[in-house]
Structure 1
Amino acid sequence: MARPKLSNLPDLSDLARPGQQLTVRVTPKAASTRLSRSGDDLRAAVTVAPENGKANAAVRVLLARAMGVAMSDLTLVRGQTSRIKVFAYSGPGTSRS
């Protein structure tokens, strides 16, 4: 998976509050990796296929980079096999793995 350029990602640092839950609509197998924000709506497109958790991991990386946090601080709470996913931010040093 190609790493997204930071300049192409929206600034989601305001969402980096412990306990914050992020609902994201995901499009796997897209032509390019991107993340967009419209108000409270987050949409992610990743180039990887939704098999063996690869698309979920790609979205987690994308969110972490846009939020400016460690990937280990984001946990997939709901939507393992759904297009609508809910990630929780646990805060620095309080990973719930």
Structure 2
Amino acid sequence: MVALTLGEQGALLVTADRTLRAPGLQMQVSSAIGAGDSFLAGMVWAMNRNASLEQAFRYGLTAASATLLSIGTALCDPVDVERLYREVAHE
């Protein structure tokens, strides 16, 4: 499994069987510090809870996006992650 964050262009997840792509969410960026780490953490968190691959990918993207809303080195707020989770669309 290979997961790539693509900045404002979203993210890409490739496995032996499939490819998932999600566009970036349009938002005002306060800080990008920790966004990539939050992407990975969101995916691992969801997979640890037996989420589907699609759900885990969405949680990764929304955790990264929610981190962009935080100031400085602060990471994502779980409330923002859940709100943004509903907005992510897959291609």
TM-score, normalized by the shorter chain, greater than 0.5 = no
Return the structure number with greater strand share.
Answer: 1
TM-score normalised to structure 2 length: 0.32
Higher RCO, 1 or 2 (CA under 8 Å, sep at least 6)? Answer: 1
